[in-house]
Each structure stands twice: as C-alpha cells, then as structure tokens.
Amino acid sequence: MMLKSIKSSSGESAPAPKVDIAVPTDALSIQEESSQEIMHDGGYGWVCVFAVFMLNAHTWGISTSYSVFLAHYRQTSTLQGASSLHYAFVGGLQFSQAFMISPLATKVMGHFGPRVCLLAGVVLQTCSLLGASFATHIWHLYLGQALGFGWGVGFILIASQNVVPQWFHRRRGLATGLAAVGTGAGGLLYAMVAGQMIQQMGVGWAIRVLAIVSGVVNTACSITVRTRDKVIHPKYSLFNFDLFRQRRYLLLLGFSFFSMLGEIVILTQIPDYGAAVLELQGTQISVIGAMVALGQILGRSSIGLASDHFGHLNIAALVTFLAGLWSLAVWIPASSYGLLIFFSLFIGAFA
C-alpha cells in the first residue's frame, strides 16, 4: 500500500517522504557482463572457425574423396572376396557409422570433455586408415575404411559441431557456413590428390598418406579448439525421449534423415557413375569429385550468410528442393563429361 500523505501534529497533511530504492550498480554490471558472455560474437571464435574448418576438411573431406577410391576399386577389384556392391557398401558405412556412434561420443564428451573426445576420434581415424592401407581381404576394408574410420569421424563430428555456434550470436550462420566449407575444401583437395597418388603410388600408400596428414592436422586442431562450456553449461545425454513427443522435432528428424540420404548418394556416387556409365578414366574421375567439392565451397558459405537473413529452415528447405530438381533435370539426361561436370558443380552447392 502506498502512503499518499502523513498528518502532522497540527492536523495538516504533509507530503509523504520520498523513498529511493537503490539498485546496486554491481548487480547491473554483473547482469550485463553475463548477458555479453552468453551472447558472445567473435573473438577467439574465429580461431575456432578455422580449426573446425580444418577438422571438416580432414574428416568429411577425406570421406567424400572415397568416391575416387570407389571408382578405382570397381575397376581393379584386387581384394579377395570383393564385388562392386561390397565397395559401394564400404562408402555408405563410412557415413552411417559417423552418425550411429554419436550417442557413445556424446557420453564420452559429457564425462571427459570435448578435447578428449576429439583426440579419441583422431587416434581412431588415423589407426583405421593405416590398417585399411594394408588390406588384402574385403573384411579388412570393412573394419578399417568403413567402421573404424566412420567411428573416428563421428567422435570428431560430435565434439566439434557445437564449438562455432557457442562463439557467435548475430553472425552464427555465417561462421557455421565458413566452418562447413572445410568439407568442400578437403573434398576438392583430396579428390584430386587421391587420384594422382593412386596412379603413382598405389592405393595402399595413398591411404597411408591420408592417414598421416589427417592425423597431424586433426591433432593440432583438437588442441587449438576451445569451447565455452563453462559459460553456457550444456547438458550431455545419450537420448532425450521427451523430444519424440514433439511433432516439430519429428518433422525435423524426418527432414534431416531424407536430406542426408540424398546427400550421401550425391557425394559418393557421381564419380563412380561417370566411370561406370560414361566410361571416364583416371583424372576425369578425380575432376568430377573435385567439382562436387568446389560447389560445396561456393555454396555453403553463401547458404550460411543467407540463413542469417532469411531463416535457417527456410534456406534449408529451398536448397533441398533445388537439389532434387537439379538431379531430375540434369543428372538423369547427363550423357557427356562436360554435362556431368556442370551438374557436379551446381549440385555440390546445394548438397
């Protein structure tokens, strides 16, 4: 209740005394600093963008270059007990295992921190590729270049995918897009280099070089990456079953499933399609894989920038539609090397 006036001894009403409620300036400054900490935008985050860029280049970039190895395996088929279907299945397992291992990677990250999870992935990926380089039977390739490599990529993926968004607020889409460009940059580099190494050094040494280079680079980046978990306090759990009661989450899950299914087909099968259907050889196969990667470089950064302005889901829906339309309109009737290059460049931008 507010007191409008106070009666004096003479019976006259006197104005109520003013009461000033002082708010400690320290409390206000603490709130402002806390808000600024949570809504951070840049700083060391740009170093993390570069580190995650390099991690993507030496995980997903190497994974997408498997399309060059696939074309070589199908043309030579030197491993015992192997068929074209086996080699294609190895490429599919690479991608699937990276996501299937994510619950375990999340648990490891929650207990030991992102850096331990990153370094565990680096060791697993490097050792698996080294083992696959000595493969003489198809099951060696399944164990090394499919399962082990996929698990290593999964550990690195889970530990690194949330680093960049923690450092940015207003320019989050741009920063995330720039980090994602690493996939295309690595794919472009390794698609060209892998093809040359296979021809000059053999497939075994080509895989060993990828293992050594990726091991060194990923180790350095894993040490460089720094999270803001102490400020944000994220919670890590294997599964959150409450999410499955939300219709919007189920729709997003379905969208992610089918869009990734299409992306994997594009990233792994276009060079092999050129070799099997158009009878492309050697460098031509590598160029097709490189054009897909170049399209990713051009597309992912611009898509990230557009997402900041028009909304992430809106842009994701648009580019997914364009990828499907482009595949129907160009890939199906593609009957020449030049047309396949044209398709690969643009589909990479949408993938």
pLDDT at 183: 86
pLDDT at 55: 96
pLDDT at 1: 40
| Residue range 278-326, pLDDT digits in tens | 888 777 888 888 888 888 888 877 887 788 788 878 888 898 898 889 8
pLDDT at 238: 66
| Residue range 100-155, pLDDT digits in tens | 898 899 889 888 888 999 999 999 999 999 999 999 898 999 999 899 999 999 99
pLDDT at 262: 81
In eight-state DSSP terms, residue 23 is: P
How high is the mean pLDDT of the chain? 82
Is pLDDT at 7 greater than 80 in this prediction?
no
Coil, strand, or helix at residue 7? Answer: strand
Evaluated on CA atoms 291, 295, 296, 297, the torsion sign reads positive
CB contact at 8 A, 295 and 351 = yes
Report angle CA 146, 179, 118 to the nearest 5 degrees: 50
Q: Which of 29-43, 225-239, 310-324, 334-348 has the lowest mean pLDDT?
A: 29-43
Report angle CA 273, 139, 149 to the nearest 5 degrees: 70
pLDDT at 236: 66
Strands annotated E in 118-202: none
**Which residues are CB-neighbours of 320 under 8 A, at least 6 positions away?**
255, 259, 262, 350
Is pLDDT at 18 greater than 50 in this prediction?
no
Ramachandran category for residue 22: left, alpha or beta (phi over 0 → left; psi -120 to 50 → alpha): beta
Q: Which of 116-130, 258-272, 325-339 has the lowest mean pLDDT?
A: 258-272
Is pLDDT at 211 greater than 90 in this prediction?
yes
**Which DSSP helix (H) or strand (E) runs through 13?**
strand 13-15
Is pLDDT at 223 greater than 80 in this prediction?
yes
Higher pLDDT, 189 or 282: 189
Say how far apart CA 251 and CA 248 lie, in whole Å: 5
To the question of pTM greater than 0.85 for the whole model, the response is no
Say how far apart CA 192 and CA 190 lie, in whole Å: 5
pLDDT band at 237 (very low <50, low <70, confident <90, very high): low
Q: Which of 13-27, 52-66, 212-226 has the lowest mean pLDDT?
A: 13-27
Is pLDDT at 260 greater than 70 in this prediction?
yes
Evaluated on CA atoms 26, 29, 34, 35, the torsion sign reads positive
The candidate with the shortest Cα–Cα distance to 145, out of 82, 53, 52, is: 82
Higher pLDDT, 228 or 11: 228
| Domains of the chain by start residue, with CATH | 41-238 (1.20.1250.20), 240-350 (no CATH)
Say how far apart CA 104 and CA 330 lie, in whole Å: 40
| Residue range 25-54, pLDDT digits in tens | 443 333 434 444 455 667 888 999 999 999
Coil, strand, or helix at residue 40? Answer: coil
The mean pLDDT value for 262-289 works out to 80
Most confident of 79-93, 235-249, 320-334: 320-334
Burial environment of residue 10 by CB neighbours within 10 A (0 to 12, 13 to 18, 19 or more): exposed
Long-range contacts of residues 315-322, Cβ cutoff 8 Å, at least 24 apart:
316/255, 316/259, 317/255, 319/350, 320/255, 320/259, 320/262, 320/350, 322/350
pLDDT at 317: 87
| Residue range 50-81, pLDDT digits in tens | 999 999 999 998 988 888 888 788 777 778 77
Say how far apart CA 344 and CA 351 lie, in whole Å: 10
The mean pLDDT value for 15-33 works out to 42
Strands annotated E in 212-326: none
Say how far apart CA 229 and CA 38 lie, in whole Å: 10
Is pLDDT at 268 greater than 90 in this prediction?
no
CB contact at 8 A, 293 and 167 = no
Say how far apart CA 55 and CA 159 lie, in whole Å: 11
The candidate with the shortest Cα–Cα distance to 113, out of 17, 25, 230, is: 230
The mean pLDDT value for 10-31 works out to 44
Length of the chain: 351
Higher pLDDT, 241 or 324: 324
Burial environment of residue 288 by CB neighbours within 10 A (0 to 12, 13 to 18, 19 or more): buried
Is pLDDT at 258 greater than 70 in this prediction?
yes
Q: Which amino acid is at 88?
A: A
